[in-house]
Structure 1
């Protein structure tokens, strides 16, 4: 079958039409796929039907409508509660679960789906709703490699679809970790905006400089990941001692400007802990050693 023939025959069902579910369905429609939609509150499907979606009268009808069934609901319990009565309809299909939850919940869901003769992909939308359908929107998936390969093109309608591995727990693990990473970066940005704003600097003017600086920061992530893998921490980017002193300066400057020190105090505590653990002369990536061991095991 040619790629064009495969595209023409591909169908997808979307169950759960909250803000994210609606955007998922719109992305599939925009890519030209026949898209069946269902939501407990039927009116939420109206706008999508006007855009060309097929309205399913029941969840069972939505499952039966496509080989690829995408669910986007509040939690795993809701997914299983909704699909439980129609579980036999899942046989021979692929269930893609874009619901946030724990790694344990993902494993249980994968086992439950497999027990009903279906393949399972756990997933997470890492770029919010605004970018869905654009190449820069990151979607991570884990679970059946065969299912991902078979439906890669359809899932790529959502954005950059990345398969992390066969373990279904990987998607929620990455989801949680990347959420923490994003908030760490944003917390630093918000503090920085408050700090320069105390001197009258416009946030957009600062952001223009800050975003130009970020490629250097992301390059450090790649380099420091290799250091962490090797367990060796060269101090080319400065020692823990040097950065601890610089962080003290940031705390002092923030206090002088009347800006909260919550964010730099957190980083200072990490650096102080690494210094106390004997990493003072090592590179700053050594901080990871005290994070993964926990404060009580320094």
Structure 2
């Protein structure tokens, strides 16, 4: 699903492994969680249950009460919360909220590790990392590939990028939340990977809705159609690797399904939808991309050449 990284030298690999082993042997320290929405509450609870002394802060103080009752310590202000933790996990509403609350506490964060689990864009993550570096803060950006109820379960997966030393320090605590993956030194990569996977998911589920809308015109329930879609997708998913190979090859001349073939296929889907009184608004962008490729003389190319139309040249 992700590009293969260049192999590290044995010395580098051994050094990294040793560093991570050392992190695992560190005694449990004090952690701070800023933000107690659904995800922040799940994170704080899991860390506390895992034996970490946990200080919590939330703009609405009442949300700290269940955590205090369960053994956490509540801080009245962000600077107080920051002072109590060796590692500060930030789970706020958005990028603006992160900067609003961290910037006034910069002096207290110096020399500490900040793990930002707030949903941000790649460039927002890079911006916060640059700010943190200017203030002597070890910054790690995180992306949570789970819903709150999954935190701490085998299905929970979290991506991290940024300061590798910060990751080594925080890793034992982070691994209590779910499978932890360090994606590299670029602070924006965890967010980028999160957004890429979510984009694939969103488009897939929009496809479900298109199928539901079409089939309910003949009285088929969404539940019955969902079962059919799942079986069909299970059969089709292995072909994703073949599409990836075509894209990585970059020539688009394998002789497989062409732009012209797909162009006529998508036209049929659009016509069938409209005949049933169903909008084709979700399908039209696909046809537009294919028509643009055909007009540019690429009708005989493999259809994954669409990816070239998705790149905005800056």
Normalising TM by the smaller chain, what interval? 0.7 to 0.9
Q: Choose the corresponding residue for 1:57, options 76, 85, 92.
A: 76
Report whether the alignment pairs 1:93 with 2:112: yes
Partner of residue 198 from structure 1, selected from 203, 217, 236: 217
TM-score (norm: length of structure 2): 0.84
Does residue 1:103 correspond to 2:122, yes or no? yes
Quick one: structure 1 residues 5 and 166, their matched pair in 2 at CA, closer, same or farther if it must change by over 3 Å?
Answer: closer
Displacement of 1:42 in angstroms is: 0.9
Give the alignment partner of residue 73 of structure 1, picking from 46, 71, 92. Answer: 92
Aligned-pair CA distance for 1:173: 2.5
Offset at 1:200? Answer: 1.8
1:172–1:193 Cα change, 3 Å: same
Structure-1 residue corresponding to 2:231: 212
Q: 132-141 or 17-26: which moved more?
A: 132-141
Match of 2:288 in 1: 269
Q: CA deviation at 1:237?
A: 5.2
How far does the alpha carbon of each residue in 1:159-191 deviate from its partner, in whole angstroms, 9 at most, with x for none? 232222101122332333333222211111111
Change (3 A) 1:276 1:157: farther
Tell me the CA shift for residue 136 of structure 1. 2.2
1:137 pairs with one of 156, 160, 178: 156
Q: Is the 8 A contact 1:235 1:284 kept in 2?
A: no
Corresponding position of 2:257: 238
| Deviation (angstroms), 1:250 | 0.9
Q: CA deviation at 1:235?
A: 4.8
Structure 1 length as normaliser, TM-score? 0.88
* Residue 221 (structure 1) aligns with: 240
Distance 1:21 1:75 in 2: 13
User: Corresponding residue for 1:176?
Assistant: 195
1:282/1:130 Cα in 2 relative to 1: closer, same or farther (>3 Å)?
farther
Query: Do structure 1's residue 123 and structure 2's residue 123 form an aligned pair?
Result: no
List gaps (5 residues or longer) in structure 1. Answer: none
- Which is worse superposed, 215-224 or 269-278? 215-224
In structure 2, the residue matched to 1:158 is 177
1:253 equivalent to 2:255? Answer: no
Unaligned runs of at least 5 residues, structure 2 = 1-20
Change in 2 beyond 3 A, CA 1:284/1:157: farther
| Cα shift at 1:141 | 1.5
- When residues 4 and 113 of structure 1 are mapped into structure 2, their CA distance, relative to the original with a 3 A threshold, is closer
Q: CA RMSD in A?
A: 2.5
Partner of 2:65: 46
Distance 1:13 1:217 in 2: 44
**Equivalents in 2 of 1:68, 1:255: separation in Å?**
55
SS at match of 1:57: coil
Aligned to 2:283, what secondary structure does the other structure show? helix
Contact 2:28 2:51 in 1 (8 A): no
1:159–1:130 distance in 2 versus 1, CA, 3 Å: same
Q: Distance in 2 between matches of 1:161 and 1:12?
A: 18
- The whole-number CA distance in structure 1 between the counterparts of 2:179 and 2:234 is 20
- Answering whether residue 205 of structure 2 is matched by residue 186 of structure 1, we say yes
Change in Cα spacing, 1:164 to 1:236, as seen in structure 2 (3 Å) is: farther
Tell me the distance in 1 between the aligned counterparts of 2:30 and 2:90.
14
Q: 1:293 to 1:117 in 2, by over 3 A?
A: closer
**How big is the shift at 1:131?**
2.6
Q: Which shows bigger deviation, 183-192 or 101-110?
A: 101-110
